[in-house]
């Protein structure tokens, strides 16, 4: 028995010395490029107040569901992020919103200097194009939480077109213009499991109490592999503007489903 104990005592140090030291888990390198695309089922609400040449009395509020009617639409959105240094990204986002509908006006209203009588059938088209460019800095707050502040600028273009479609004397008016905001906000990502993430974001800009844009979104991302994820979120956008004598307060909200690709 003693010879075996003596032999094991001699071999044990050699075995210990021959074992490789445990390797540390290297942090995953963030992707150079991220592309997000989704389909957004956007439900509209709100009102517009569009004058002709800033003339007093040339507009009254046209409210969705009352004087005009807009139907929900499935809209595409896109987002690209390019990492150019460490955890800093340059982001670009485009959201084309185009809502249409035919509705019987509940009462008289004035749009762009023309009076639309109650009871008339009106075809309405309202569009908002949002383009955002910002710098994003990702911060790993812990093993399960990351925060990403945003700072940049946003352009928006607004268009509206109202025309009667009931066979009576036609009325056809349209108006469009554009403006921009500074943009700021933040994203938060929570690691729930190895493949499931919770996501929350809030972005916006303002130039006054009656001139602002806000987008809020919350949902989940399921990582299929190192380069692809499925996303499911609920998105809300509120555009409020008062440009010269033109005003609007438009809200678009609904679920979105999409795909994120990482390279």
Read off the pLDDT of residues 214-245 as tens digits, 9 standing for 90 and up: 999 999 999 999 999 999 999 999 999 998 89
> Can you tell me whether residue 226 is helix, strand or coil?
coil
9 within a domain of the structure (yes/no): no
Percent of the chain whose pLDDT exceeds 70? 89
11 within a domain of the structure (yes/no): no
Read off the pLDDT of residues 22-37 as tens digits, 9 standing for 90 and up: 544 445 566 789 999 9
* Residue 206: predicted pLDDT: 86
- When computed from its CA atoms, the radius of gyration of the chain, rounded to whole angstroms, is 28
Percent of the chain whose pLDDT exceeds 90? 79
222 within a domain of the structure (yes/no): yes
> Can you tell me whether residue 262 is helix, strand or coil?
strand
**Mean per-residue pLDDT, 65-78:** 97
**Mean per-residue pLDDT, 77-91:** 93
Cβ atoms within 10 Å of 138's Cβ, excluding its own: 17
Domain with residue 149: its CATH number is 2.40.128.90
Token readout for 222 is 């399921």
In this prediction, residue 16 has a pLDDT band, given cuts at 50, 70 and 90, of very low
Instruction: Give me the number of domains the chain comprises.
Output: 1
More confident residue, 80 or 180: 80
In this prediction, residue 195 has a pLDDT band, given cuts at 50, 70 and 90, of very high
For residue 18, report the phi and psi dihedrals to the nearest 5 degrees. -80, -15
* Residue 30: predicted pLDDT: 67
17 within a domain of the structure (yes/no): no
Read off the pLDDT of residues 164-175 as tens digits, 9 standing for 90 and up: 999 999 999 999
1 within a domain of the structure (yes/no): no
65 within a domain of the structure (yes/no): yes
Give 150's Cβ-side CA count (13 Å radius).
24
* Residue 260: predicted pLDDT: 97
The residue segments making up the domain with residue 196 are 33-262
In this prediction, residue 185 has a pLDDT band, given cuts at 50, 70 and 90, of very high
Segment of 20-24, 197-201, 208-212 carrying the highest mean pLDDT: 197-201
* Residue 5: predicted pLDDT: 41
List of E strands, 55-195? 62-63, 73-85, 88-104, 109-111, 114-116, 121-137, 139-140, 145-164, 172-191
DSSP labels for 9-70?
Answer: HHHHHHHHHHSPPPPPPPPPPPPSEEEEEEEEEEEEEEEEE--STT-TTS---EEBTTTB--
175 within a domain of the structure (yes/no): yes
Q: How far apart are CA 53 and CA 63, in angstroms?
A: 21
Token readout for 125 is 């088209």
195 within a domain of the structure (yes/no): yes
């Amino acid at each position: 028995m003693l010879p075996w104990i003596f032999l094991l005592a001699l071999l044990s140090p050699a075995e210990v010395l021959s074992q490789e030291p445990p390797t540390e888990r290297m942090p995953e390198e963030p992707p150079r490029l991220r592309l997000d695309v989704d389909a957004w089922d956007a439900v509209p609400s709100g009102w517009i107040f569009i004058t002709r040449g800033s003339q007093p009395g040339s507009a009254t509020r046209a409210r969705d569901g009352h004087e005009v009617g807009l139907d929900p639409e499935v809209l595409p959105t896109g987002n690209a992020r390019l990492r150019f240094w460490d955890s800093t990204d340059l982001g670009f986002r485009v959201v084309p919103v185009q809502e249409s509908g035919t509705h019987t006006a509940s009462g008289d209203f004035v749009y762009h200097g023309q009076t639309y009588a109650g009871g008339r059938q009106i075809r309405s088209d309202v569009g908002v194009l949002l383009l955002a460019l910002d710098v994003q800095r990702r911060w790993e707050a812990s093993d399960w939480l990351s925060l990403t502040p945003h700072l940049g600028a946003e352009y928006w273009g607004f268009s509206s077109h109202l025309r009667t479609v009931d066979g009576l004397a036609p009325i056809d008016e349209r108006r469009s213009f554009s403006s921009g905001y500074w943009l700021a906000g933040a994203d938060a990502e929570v690691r729930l499991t190895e493949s499931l993430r919770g996501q929350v974001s809030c972005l916006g800009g303002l130039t006054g109490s009656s001139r602002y844009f806000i987008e809020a979104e919350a949902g989940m991302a399921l990582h299929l592999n190192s380069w692809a994820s499925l996303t499911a979120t609920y998105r809300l956008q509120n555009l409020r503007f008062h440009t010269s004598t033109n005003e609007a307060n438009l809200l678009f909200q609904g679920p979105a489903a999409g795909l994120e690709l990482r390279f």
